[in-house]
Amino acid sequence: MNRWQIALLKYARSYKKGISLILMLMISGILFDLLMPWPLKLILDYVITGEELPGYASWLYNFPGIESALSLIVILAFSTVVLFLLSKTVTIFKVYIKEGVGNRLMYDLGAQLFYRIQRLSLRFHGKQQSGDLVQRITKDSTCVRDLVIGMLLPLLSSVLMLVGMFTVMWRLDRELTLLALIIVPCMGFLIKYFTSRITERSYEEYSVEGKLLAQAEQILSGLPVVQAYGREGFEDKRYRLISMRAVKAKLRTVVSQLQFSLGVGTLIAIGTAITMGFGGYRVLQGDLTVGSLLVFLSYLSSLYVPVESLAKLTTGYASAAAGARRIYEILSADEYVSEHPDAQPLMSKTKSNGMLVRAENVTFGYENNNPVLQNVSFELLPGEKAALVGRTGAGKSTLISLLTRFYDPWDGRITFDGVDIREVSLQSLRSNISIVLQDPFLLPITVAENISYGRPGAGEHEIVEAAQAAYAHEFIEKLPQGYHTVIGERGSTLSGGERQRLTIARAFLKDAPVLILDEPTSALDAGTEAKILDAMERLMRNRTTFIITHRMSMLQRVDKIFELENGKLVERERFDYAR
């Protein structure tokens, strides 16, 4: 067994109860299905011919009011309804539980992945595309459902069904059963031959479809160039070409699927013909009853479903296995920012007034031998505000990533209130820092949940207070459901300024002593900026603050100005910038 198979099966073990319940329901469902053709047999073989019912059905005479053949027919006919109801009830139960267990399996695995991915270091994320990670959480996590619910259980049920059918047939007529069994190896051959072809072709189909979509996306997102160079006609042709290829690939898949079902159908037809011919001969000889012959025929006609589900297994297995392997990659990734074994929580000594933040000869880069920051040192006293300026790519965001320990420096150290940040727990370090970015980061959850993001469990009045401090209360009140409006849903689109005020409210609520603002106003126009500057200024009060900014309006409000150039940090005099 592969490592990922073991990992997944271990994982499915926690659902033992649900799965064994499904198995029990499955077995009883199969029993009911096997009983289905029997009332008809009894009617034809015994009731109509006027014979006594055989020993296994003689209990039917105990029903009150059994006098005539007709009343026996009524009872037997009624029993088909009962059998149907029983079998369906079992099926519905089974499907219901299957859906629950299957999806819970899937979402649990998704949650696990989600949790891990969130905690992996930015070094890991730097190498991964977020779209690919989302794919793993949302799509690949279905593999466990597909494997357990979609494959393991159907495999069991198909095998049990086949075994059950042939056992009953064996007891009715051995020779006829052996004859009917001839088609089984042929079916095995069909399954083996076609599944790999169908898999290949449907894979081809998906990849062409993917290409088509990718092409459309690419062209439509580069439309100005397409139009400017008059390439619409050319692109039409290209789209048509791939589109036609997709149609052809789809047809090829359908053709092999049809060949397969035609093959299975023909085999069943042959089995039916053999049974009819030989069985009819046995009936003429008096060795078999008409009713038993019908039982045979009805079993044969229901052979298609288990065979088909067996055939689907190989196809499904390949894609589920691919998903499982991708998941295992995440589950076995270990690029976490390491915590000191006996990390202490970071306690602020001067919480009400910010923290003392120092960097001592910090050197760091993303690639070996290519440092982005070199020997950077600075000191910010509790409550001081520093602006960080420099060109795009000078390392401003990198420096900030070191403060939050998204990365650890190659050399040198950073201290908060004199404590090296590598010696405190990550959680406590980050709970002492608030961040506001240029692009306000909001989740599709309610406004209140977004504000309390950094402090879950905050009371309603605290949330409102924070919103008021950020001058966000007013517009929140005007939203369709106020604080309980889900962001991004219809009718609740917020402007850039409003979104930024929500993140400021979030920082207010978190009330951390260290504040990091990364170009908080540069995506806003001047009018909007003026409105949120007041909120920002209140937020900075009594906190140690870093602001990455190019705006004069912000530069005028800080105590120190640091400039990064070629990886070096220089402190500038404030008046350099003031006009």
Partner 1 sequence: MSRYRFIIPYILRQRRFLLLIVILTLFGAALATLQPWPLKILIDFALGDDSLPLFFDPTPFNLVMAASVLSLVLYTLNSAVNSVLVWAWTAAGNKMVYHLSVDLFGRLQRLSLLFFQKRHLGDILNRLSGDSYCVYKIAEAVVVAPFRSIVVLAMIGYVSWSLNQELTLISFAIAPFLGLSAWYFGGRLKRQSRLDREAHSALMSFVHQTVTAIPMVQAFTAEETNKQKFDVLARNAVTIKQKNTLIKNIFLSTGGLMTTIGGAVILVVGGNFILNGTLTVGSLLVFIAYLKTMQGAFQNLLTTYGSMKSAEASIDRILEVVNSREKITEVSSPQPFPHNGTVKQPYIRFNKVSFEYRKGVPVLQNIDLEIDRGETIAIAGETGAGKSTLIHLIPRFIDPVEGSITLDGFDLRELSLADLRAHIALVQQEPFLFPVTVAENIGMGNPKAAPADIREAAVLAGADDFIRKLPDGYQTVIAERGVTLSGGQKQRISIARALVKDAPVLLLDEPASALDVNTEEKLMDAIEILMKGRTTFLIAHRFSTIHGADRIVVLKQGNIEEIGTHEELVAREGAYYRSLSLQQRNAKPDEPYNLIRRPSGARLIYE
Q: Considering the complex, state which of residue 275 and residue 544 has its C-beta at the smaller distance from partner 1.
A: 275
Rounded distance, CA 579 to CA 558, Å?
A: 15
Using the contact rule CB under 8 A, the part of the chain among 231-239, 305-313, 408-416, 461-469 near partner 1 is: 231-239
Q: How far is the CB of 97 from partner 1 (least distance, A)?
A: 9
505 and 472 in contact (C-beta within 8 Å)?
yes
Candidate residues 24, 159, 225, 530; the one interacting with partner 1 per rule CB under 8 A: 225
Q: Considering the complex, state which of residue 223 and residue 322 has its C-beta at the smaller distance from partner 1.
A: 223
Window 258-317: residues binding partner 1 (CB under 8 A) = 258-259, 261-262, 265-266, 268-270, 272-277, 280-281, 283-284, 290, 294, 297
Candidate residues 42, 117, 169, 494; the one interacting with partner 1 per rule CB under 8 A: 117
Q: How far is the CB of 2 from partner 1 (least distance, A)?
A: 26
The CB density around residue 522, as the number of other CB atoms within 10 Å, is: 13
In the shown chain, the binding pattern of residues 6 to 45 toward partner 1, with x for contact by CB under 8 A and - for none, equals ---------------------------------xx--xx-
Candidate residues 54, 188, 222, 480; the one interacting with partner 1 per rule CB under 8 A: 222
Q: Considering the complex, state which of residue 3 and residue 139 has its C-beta at the smaller distance from partner 1.
A: 139
Q: Considering the complex, state which of residue 188 and residue 488 has its C-beta at the smaller distance from partner 1.
A: 488
Half-sphere exposure of 275 (CA within 13 A, CB side): 27
With both helix axes pointing from N to C terminus, report the angle between 153-172 and 290-301 in degrees, rounded to the nearest 10: 160
Window 349-408: residues binding partner 1 (CB under 8 A) = 389, 391-393, 401, 404, 406
Q: How far is the CB of 524 from partner 1 (least distance, A)?
A: 9
Window 128-167: residues binding partner 1 (CB under 8 A) = 130, 133-134, 137-138
Q: How far is the CB of 382 from partner 1 (least distance, A)?
A: 20
Q: Considering the complex, state which of residue 296 and residue 378 has its C-beta at the smaller distance from partner 1.
A: 296
Q: How far is the CB of 360 from partner 1 (least distance, A)?
A: 22
Rounded distance, CA 546 to CA 484, Å?
A: 32
Structure tokens at 252: 């090829």
The CB density around residue 37, as the number of other CB atoms within 10 Å, is: 21
3-class SS at 96?
Answer: helix
The amino acid present at 330, given as its one-letter code, is I
Residue with tokens 């439309």: 223
Q: Alpha helices, DSSP H only, in 352-445?
A: 396-403, 426-431
Window 489-518: residues binding partner 1 (CB under 8 A) = 510
What letter does residue 569 receive in the DSSP assignment? E
Angle at 206 between CA 202 and CA 210, to 5 degrees: 170
Write the DSSP assignment of 474-494 as a string of letters: HHHHTSTTGGGPBTTSTT---
Q: Considering the complex, state which of residue 138 and residue 338 has its C-beta at the smaller distance from partner 1.
A: 138
Candidate residues 219, 331, 381, 533; the one interacting with partner 1 per rule CB under 8 A: 219
| Cross-strand partners of 516 | 435, 546
Q: How far is the CB of 381 from partner 1 (least distance, A)?
A: 23
In the shown chain, the binding pattern of residues 165 to 204 toward partner 1, with x for contact by CB under 8 A and - for none, equals ----------------------------------------
202 and 315 in contact (C-beta within 8 Å)?
yes
Q: How many residues bind partner 1 (CB under 8 A)?
A: 136
Distances (CA, A) of 262 to 267, 312, 314: 9, 15, 19
Structure tokens at 352: 């009400």
Burial class (CB within 10 angstroms; exposed 0-12, middle 13-18, buried 19+) of 525: exposed
210 and 203 in contact (C-beta within 8 Å)?
no
* Contact flag: residue 445 with partner 1 (CB under 8 A): yes
Window 424-443: residues binding partner 1 (CB under 8 A) = 426-427, 430-431, 433, 435, 437, 441, 443
Using the contact rule CB under 8 A, the part of the chain among 190-198, 239-247, 308-316, 360-368 near partner 1 is: 239-247
Instruction: Find the helix or strand (DSSP H, E) in which 72 lies.
Output: helix 69-119
Q: Considering the complex, state which of residue 299 and residue 317 has its C-beta at the smaller distance from partner 1.
A: 299
Rounded distance, CA 388 to CA 546, Å?
A: 7
Max Cα distance, the chain (Å) = 116
Candidate residues 197, 250, 538, 557; the one interacting with partner 1 per rule CB under 8 A: 250
Considering only CA atoms, give the Rg of the chain.
36
Q: Considering the complex, state which of residue 61 and residue 84 has its C-beta at the smaller distance from partner 1.
A: 84
Q: How far is the CB of 311 from partner 1 (least distance, A)?
A: 15
* Contact flag: residue 218 with partner 1 (CB under 8 A): yes
φ/ψ of 280, rounded to 5, equals -60, -40
Q: How far is the CB of 230 from partner 1 (least distance, A)?
A: 5
Burial class (CB within 10 angstroms; exposed 0-12, middle 13-18, buried 19+) of 128: middle
532 and 548 in contact (C-beta within 8 Å)?
no
Structure tokens at 177: 């059963």
β-bridge pairing 385-389 and 411-416:
unpaired
Window 43-82: residues binding partner 1 (CB under 8 A) = 43-44, 47-48, 69-70, 73-74, 76-78, 80-81
In the shown chain, the binding pattern of residues 550 to 579 toward partner 1, with x for contact by CB under 8 A and - for none, equals xxxx---------x--------xx--xx-x
Candidate residues 213, 322, 347, 530; the one interacting with partner 1 per rule CB under 8 A: 213
| Cross-strand partners of 346 | none
Q: Considering the complex, state which of residue 66 and residue 269 has its C-beta at the smaller distance from partner 1.
A: 269
Burial class (CB within 10 angstroms; exposed 0-12, middle 13-18, buried 19+) of 447: buried
544 and 515 in contact (C-beta within 8 Å)?
yes
Q: How far is the CB of 357 from partner 1 (least distance, A)?
A: 15
Using the contact rule CB under 8 A, the part of the chain among 1-9, 339-347, 352-360, 544-552 near partner 1 is: 544-552
Q: How far is the CB of 168 from partner 1 (least distance, A)?
A: 20
In the shown chain, the binding pattern of residues 83 to 112 toward partner 1, with x for contact by CB under 8 A and - for none, equals -xx--x--xx--xx--xx--xx--xx-xx-
